[in-house]
């Protein structure tokens, strides 16, 4: 299973290419380490935008909720609910990130000045091309894992509502962990490479549990005690990959 996760395949080659691309930018001094850290924070917004599209597809073509979900919203109303909830999450995360790194970036006067801080961040060398590469990688994953397999037909909108948060929590925890190296040491390059490496492992693991993955199928069958348990495990694991 582990060997298959790290194998170079048509499903994960963009993840490998993106990681190599970021390291090349670092080594050629076309982007600094801190820019890469914040680009990963910006990826949270990209994931949120693509999840809005997933929810729309689930509402239109997926399984219908028999009743309102536990949050009191259903149908297309679930989309603005997610956008507001996720937007608040991104805002709080951004305030924390800018406040955490303000000692490294003199131009950041306060973590609460989100518009000014993001304007400054987006003006930095290399940030646009890094964000573009992350967008292409996430769009490819969305297409190959979700859209091409018509997985929206398998889900109720409410069952996917909060699924990105698990993935985001793990990813941003890694980003913050690497961020401590920036604040506490002068090893910016090493911290950035460490961050890219950790993110590579996470992204490859997520891709490995795609719907048509034979290693994933074998793993679930091995750890299930009945056919019903197998189907349930398979569905739940795949939800957390969305």
pLDDT digit string (tens) for 207-235? 877 666 666 777 777 777 777 777 777 77
- From 55, 21, 8, select the one nearest 208 (Cα to Cα): 8
* Domain contains 237: no
pLDDT digit string (tens) for 91-107? 888 888 888 777 777 77
Cβ count within 10 A of residue 127: 18
Q: Which domain holds residue 96?
A: 2-211
- Tokens coding 95: 């305030």
> What pTM did the predictor assign?
0.82
Cβ count within 10 A of residue 33: 20
Residue 174 vs residue 49, higher pLDDT:
49
Asked if residue 71 has pLDDT above 70, the reply is no
* Domain contains 224: no
**Residue 178, class by beta-carbon neighbours within 10 Å (0-12 exposed, 13-18 middle, 19+ buried)?**
buried
Domain count, the chain: 1
């Amino acid at each position: 299973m582990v060997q298959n996760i790290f194998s170079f395949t048509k499903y994960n080659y963009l993840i490998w290419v993106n990681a190599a691309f970021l390291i090349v930018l670092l080594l050629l001094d076309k982007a600094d380490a801190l820019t890469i850290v914040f680009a990963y924070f910006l990826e949270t917004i990209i994931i949120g935008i693509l999840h809005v599209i997933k929810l729309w597809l689930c509402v239109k073509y997926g399984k219908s909720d028999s009743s309102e979900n536990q949050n009191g919203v259903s149908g297309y109303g679930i989309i603005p609910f997610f956008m507001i909830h996720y937007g608040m999450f991104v805002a709080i995360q951004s305030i924390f990130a800018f406040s955490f790194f303000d000692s490294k970036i003199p131009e950041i006067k306060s973590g609460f000045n989100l518009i000014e801080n993001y304007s400054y961040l987006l003006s930095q060398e290399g940030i646009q091309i890094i964000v573009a590469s992350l967008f292409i990688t996430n769009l490819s994953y969305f297409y190959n894992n979700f859209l091409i397999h018509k997985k929206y037909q398998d889900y109720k909108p409410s069952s996917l509502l909060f699924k990105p948060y698990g993935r985001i929590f793990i990813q941003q925890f890694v980003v913050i962990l690497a961020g401590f190296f920036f604040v506490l040491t002068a090893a910016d390059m090493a911290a950035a490479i460490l961050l890219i490496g950790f993110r590579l492992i996470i992204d490859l693991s997520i891709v490995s549990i795609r719907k048509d993955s034979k290693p994933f199928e074998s793993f679930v069958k091995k750890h299930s005690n009945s056919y019903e348990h197998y189907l349930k495990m398979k569905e739940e694991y795949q939800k957390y990959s969305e």
